[in-house]
Amino acid sequence: PRASDDTGSDPDPSASPPPPKPPSSPPGKAIAGAGFALGVALFASGLGGGAPTLASLEKDAVSLDVALANGRPTVVEFYADWCEVCKESAPTVFDVERKFGGDVNFVMLNIDNTKWGGEMDQYGVDGIPHLVFLDKNGQSYGQVVGKFPKAALEQNVQALAEGRQNLPFAKFQEGASVARAPDIVAAPQSAVDDPRGGAVYNADPRAHG
């Protein structure tokens, strides 16, 4: 009898085996990777926080009453939401606050709130941003008004943190926005007492600009 052809019984020894399939990623890693990518996208688009603002500074600020009672030196900033210079300086103040916030209070006072009229008079606020530097006893040792370099703020705050009374930039003023408040009429200029001693010739700090 004729032998039958059996061509499929033995594999071809020259054929290569199929490559192994790559292992699938665990669900947890896939989710974590997607979350990271989303976070990067949000940050890049500004939705993940973006640059510090006056609102974020106010949210993190210490109240004036607490600052004057907790035995730490204090930086008091007078500002307004409409003040472009204040907005521009917000990232600088944020950076310095993050560096020294454990040793120095940072207080934000909105001049459009008539509650702070007395403090505006006390510190001679007629332009904003107006930053006052107080020692741990609430004594004023200097001020920075208007557009200020980061170095001026940083060095003044460092001096406060170290308990020094002589600030590198005790009286710095440049390019301030005129302080104004609603429903208060303009007043003529007059000499007012400076809490640091002497008198200065200035406009009513609550007058319209």
Q: Which of the residues are catalytic?
A: 83, 86
User: If you search the block for the tokens 């004729």, which residue do you land on?
Assistant: 2
Give all strands (DSSP E) within 96-181, no chain letters: 105-110, 127-128, 130-134, 140-146, 171-174, 177-178
Please name the amino acid found at residue 145. Answer: V
Contact between residue 127 and residue 94 where contact means Cβ atoms under 8 Å apart: no
Paired residues of 187 in beta bridges: none
Contact between residue 117 and residue 206 where contact means Cβ atoms under 8 Å apart: yes
